[in-house]
Structures are given as structure tokens and as C-alpha cells.
Amino acid sequence: MFTSDLRNTDRSAAFRPLQCPSANGLRSSPEHSSAPELKRRERRAPVRTLGVFAALLVATLTCSAQTNSPGTNTTAASTNQSPTLAERSEKIRATLIEHRRVVCGRVLKVFPDGVVVESGYTELLKPPFNQSWWTSGGAKVERDSKALEINEPGSACIGLVFLTDIPKRPRVQQYDYVALQAYPAGEYQYTSVPGVQKTLRKFSAGLDTAVRLKLEDGEK
């Protein structure tokens, strides 16, 4: 009897139908995904990759825009801006002082804005003539024909020059003598005789006037 029950039990188990896992069970595990589901995931993968790449590209462009912002360009422009008028004036002033000369000579021509001087009378720098910047034309002053102009601040100027911004008193007359420290102030076109024009070195007895004239020449 017992044997018969065992046989019946084995027989019923042998013919019991197999139960397949539910569809939900397959979806819950990546290892058991169905073929259609795998295809859908493969199609979504490139889309996610493109999204990440686009985000990185936007971030890179944003950083680049911040680096090249108008503020940066403004700073560079302000750094490279041209010198101010005061800075230019101080630079010119220093150069003029370095190249100053002593115009010492005989006045050949008097103009409203200055005088033409044959400079090189170095005796005017010695006693008794060095007591004043002006010496009457009646004085006997010899010109040193061998004198040379030295490229040093305050050295005697040699040759024909135009001198402006001289003192008002005493009033200078033709053939008087002058001895003044002066500063380079450009050039002067001098007509000695009709049809003959010479370009002379121009000096100013006033430093501020020389700076102004040099600035005006630079603006032309």
C-alpha cells in the first residue's frame, strides 16, 4: 500500500507541468533581459553619450567666454594706453636738461620772437663779461675760431643759432653780446639774404617754453 502511494506520487511529479518565470521577473534582472529590451537600451546609449558630450562642450565655451570677457580686454587696453600729457612733458623736460647748451655770442639779427646769434664767443663766460647775460656791442670780445662744441650738458654752443624767450631787459640790439643757458627747441628757418634760407638750431632760454615748443612739434 505504501509502495503504491510512492509510485503514485512520483508519477504525479513527473507529469507536473513546468512553470516558467514571470515576465516581470525577467525585466527585473539585467542578466535575463529579453532581446527587444536589450535593443531599446542599445538605442538609448548613444543618446546619453551625446548628451554628456554636449554638456561638456557648453561648459568649455562658457569658461572661454569668461576668460575673454570685456573686463579683461579693458584691463589690457588700459595697460597699453598712450602716456599722458604730464608724462610726456616730464620726459621731454629731462631730455632737454640733458642736452642744454650755453649760447654765447654776437647778435646778428633781432626778430620779435627771438634773435639770431653767432655763438662761440667763449670769452663771455669769463670775467669781466660773465657778470651779466648781456654785454654791449661796444665791448671788445674776441671769438675763439678753434672752439669746438662738446656733447655735454652746459657746454658752449658753437655756430649760428636762433635764440628765443630771452629776458626783456635790457633790450637787446643788433651786434650786442648774449650769454645764456638755453634748451633745444627744434629748428628755425632763417633767411640771411634774399633767396638764401638756412635751417638753424633753435634754442629757448626758458625751459618751460622749450618743453611747450617740443610738444607742439610732436603734434604736427
pLDDT at 82: 78
pLDDT at 72: 45
pLDDT at 192: 85
DSSP 125: G
Preceding omega of 167 cis (within 30 degrees of 0): no
Choose among 120, 84, 102: nearest CA to 184: 102
CB 151 within 8 A of CB 184: no
Q: What is the pTM of this model?
A: 0.64
Domain extent listing, the chain: 24-66, 90-219
Residues of the chain falling short of pLDDT 70: 1-80, 219-220
pLDDT at 123: 97
pLDDT at 83: 84
User: Whole-angstrom Cα distance, residue 95 to residue 102?
Assistant: 16
Question: Cell match 674776441: residue?
Answer: 142
Choose among 172, 174, 175: nearest CA to 132: 172
User: Whole-angstrom Cα distance, residue 35 to residue 109?
Assistant: 113
Long-range own/partner contacts, residues 38-44 (CB < 8 A, 24 or more apart): none
* Model confidence pLDDT, tens digit, residues 167-215: 999 999 999 999 999 999 999 999 988 889 999 999 999 999 999 999 9
